[in-house]
C-alpha cells in the first residue's frame, strides 16, 4: 500500500515535469515550440529568397549596362551616343547630342 502511493506520486511528478511536457506531442508547450520554430524557419527562408531576388535584380542585362541617362534631359540612351564628363572624383555626367546642341546654341546667342 505504501509503495503504491509512492509510485503514484512518482508518476504524477513525472507527468508534470517540463521535460515530459516538451516531449509529449499533445502538449501545448510542444505545439507552441514547433509553431515558433516553423515560423522562424519560414522567416529565414523568406529573407533568403528576398535577398536572392535583390541580388539577381542588380545584375543588369548587357543592353541595360550600355544605357545611361543624359544628365540634362534625363533621356536614357546608349553610352556610345553620349558625351561623358567626370565631375570631381566620382560623379559622372552624360550629355546627349540634343542637349549639347542646345548648350552650344545658348552660348552662341549669348555672345
Q: Could you list the residues that contact Zn ion (CB under 5 A)? A: 70, 72-73, 96, 99
Task: Please identify, using beta-carbon distances, which residue of 38 and 101 lies nearer to Zn ion.
Answer: 101
Task: Please identify, using beta-carbon distances, which residue of 27 and 102 lies nearer to Zn ion.
Answer: 102
Give least dist CB 54 to Zn ion, A.
Answer: 30
Strands (E), 1-111: 67-69, 76-78, 82-87, 91-96
Give least dist CB 94 to Zn ion, A.
Answer: 8
Task: Please identify, using beta-carbon distances, which residue of 68 and 96 lies nearer to Zn ion.
Answer: 96
Residues sharing a CB contact under 8 Å with residue 18, sequence separation 6 or more, in sequence order: 29
Give least dist CB 98 to Zn ion, A.
Answer: 5
Distance CA 32, CA 21 (A): 11
Tell me the CB-side half-sphere exposure of residue 90, using CA atoms within 13 A. Answer: 0
Amino acid at each position: 500500500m505504501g509503495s503504491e502511493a509512492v509510485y503514484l506520486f512518482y508518476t504524477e511528478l513525472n507527468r508534470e515535469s517540463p521535460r515530459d511536457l516538451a516531449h509529449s506531442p499533445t502538449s501545448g508547450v510542444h505545439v507552441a515550440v514547433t509553431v515558433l520554430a516553423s515560423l522562424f524557419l519560414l522567416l529565414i527562408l523568406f529573407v533568403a529568397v528576398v535577398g536572392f531576388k535583390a541580388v539577381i535584380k542588380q545584375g543588369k542585362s548587357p543592353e541595360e549596362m550600355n544605357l545611361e541617362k543624359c544628365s540634362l534631359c534625363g533621356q536614357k540612351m546608349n553610352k556610345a551616343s553620349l558625351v561623358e564628363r567626370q565631375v570631381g572624383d566620382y560623379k559622372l555626367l552624360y550629355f546627349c547630342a540634343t542637349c549639347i546642341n542646345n548648350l552650344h546654341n545658348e552660348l552662341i546667342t549669348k555672345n
